[in-house]
Amino acid sequence: MKNYDAIYVDGQWIPSDGKKTLSVFDSTNEEVMATIPEGTASDVAKAAKAAKAAFVSWSTTPPATRAKYLTAISDALAARMDEISSAISRETGMSKMLSNMIQVGLPIGSFKQAAALAESFEFEKQVGTSLIVREPIGVVGCITPWNYPLHQIAAKVAFALASGCTVVLKPSEVAPIDAFMLAEIIHEAKLPAGVFNLVTGTGPVVGEAISASPDIDMISFTGSTRAGKLVMQTGSETVKKVALELGGKSANIICEDLDTETFAKAVMGGTGQAFLNSGQTCSLLSRMLVPRSRLAEAEGLAAAVAGGMKVGDPFAEGTNLGPLASAAQRDRVVSYINKGIEEGAKLIAGGPEAPEGLEKGYYVKATVFSEVNNKMTIAQEEIFGPVLVLIPYDGIDEAVDIANDSPYGLAGAVYAANQETGIAIARRIRTGQVTVNNGRFNPNAPFGGYKQSGIGRELGEYGFEEFLEVKSLQL
């Protein structure tokens, strides 16, 4: 077990004003793997003050110089990939192989992409008699989740720093170890004091203090819609800019015109994707919409995939499904599975019982329901676990209506016989991104949602622009 006994403020590791600590649990065995400071509002005040002071010089630092720092951070993350991904696998339950690629590989790319944007972005342009200038917004409070901890930190911190902003980071207390490792890397890279600050603690204390701080100009938050609403309310008192990446209940429309082989590929691929990171993914395709005439066919395919999922230690070879990140999350997911049974959904794979031989650790079976009505709780609320629902539809218009019948609008997918048809359907889905015919994830494309899935975009140029203000110089 490792004890992290300091927060990072103004270029130094200092003790928190709080005297309490928070325990970080190993999701594979339920044992304490680390402790971290339970930060206070006064810690946030110190960090925000340092970030505000550092903004004066960092915002005017040449973009090429900022890019060099970000590249150095990216390289140092790559050098510590195994150590960081191992910690995240223990915190979140993701298999070690996927943690290397996703939990650390994507953040390495984010820092490099942010560095490239800092150098290539056009911060000024002439519009008639005016010079339009894009300037960093100021101090950014970054509040990040536990499911993709370093990835979400990088999506905020890397692009904020690249734009010329300074940062106060509050990582999730469930999965904070990677944030300490990043702070160590940033310190070794000799980033100017105050440009990056780390305060750990709980949302109701540290998160709320960040949202309320008059020294913080913008909040970039990723988490539940419920928590996002609170961040927005608190931030409104000082009229902050608020960027929110929240929940999702994304629909995957499998079209009726697919041949047998392609239909099988679509259903089986969609089922496997629904269990990514043990279902702990906000953009998860957790509602599979299938033609009623082919529901039985889809049930057999989905059940086979779920039944073939190897649940177990994320460090063991061949593991497809590791544990959930916490006891609270496991209990929440199990309660949703029981709710689905109570509401009359047809359970075709998995169930609420712990996987055999895995009574210790936060494990849940890969679970699939069929004959689900879109008004059921398991079709409307974000479960955040390895639970897929099959919803039958009659005609593509009904499928689109079902897909859009959600308070969320983060992601979606369409699998059609040809790409043109798929694109036409995708245009009708009210979400921030739609995968057409198993298109690949693009880490430089804008990521964010419609409706209660959030405000603003992350990653790539669109994510970079979130941290910039627009000024007109009338000449």
Active site residues: 245, 282
Pairing of strands 166-170, 139-143: parallel
Q: Is the distance from CB of 288 to CB of 389 less than 8 angstroms?
A: yes
Other residues' Cβ atoms within 10 Å of the Cβ of residue 60 = 10
The rounded distance, in Å, linking the Cα atoms of 332 and 260 is 37
**DSSP class per residue in 102-115:** IIIHHHHHHHHHHH
The rounded distance, in Å, linking the Cα atoms of 244 and 259 is 40
Q: Which residues contact 260 (CB under 8 A, 6 or more apart)?
A: none
The rounded distance, in Å, linking the Cα atoms of 387 and 279 is 7
The rounded distance, in Å, linking the Cα atoms of 30 and 281 is 21
Q: Which residues contact 405 (CB under 8 A, 6 or more apart)?
A: 374
Look up residue 126 and give its two tokens: 């002439």
Q: Is the distance from CB of 28 to CB of 361 less than 8 angstroms?
A: yes
Q: Which residues contact 338 (CB under 8 A, 6 or more apart)?
A: 352
Q: Is the distance from CB of 174 to CB of 146 less than 8 angstroms?
A: yes
The rounded distance, in Å, linking the Cα atoms of 171 and 203 is 9
Pairing of strands 367-370, 387-393: parallel
Can you give the length of the chain in residues?
Answer: 475
- Each residue of 251-283: b (16+ CB within 10 Å) or e? bbbbbbebeeebbbebbbbbbbbbbbbbbbbbb
Look up residue 222 and give its two tokens: 């990723």
Q: Is the distance from CB of 217 to CB of 163 less than 8 angstroms?
A: no
**DSSP class per residue in 252-284:** EEEPTT--HHHHHHHHHHHHHHTTGGGG--TT-
Look up residue 257 and give its two tokens: 């015109």
Q: Is the distance from CB of 141 to CB of 50 less than 8 angstroms?
A: no
Q: Nearest to residue 398, comparing CAs of 179, 251, 207?
A: 251
Q: Is the distance from CB of 69 to CB of 191 less than 8 angstroms?
A: yes
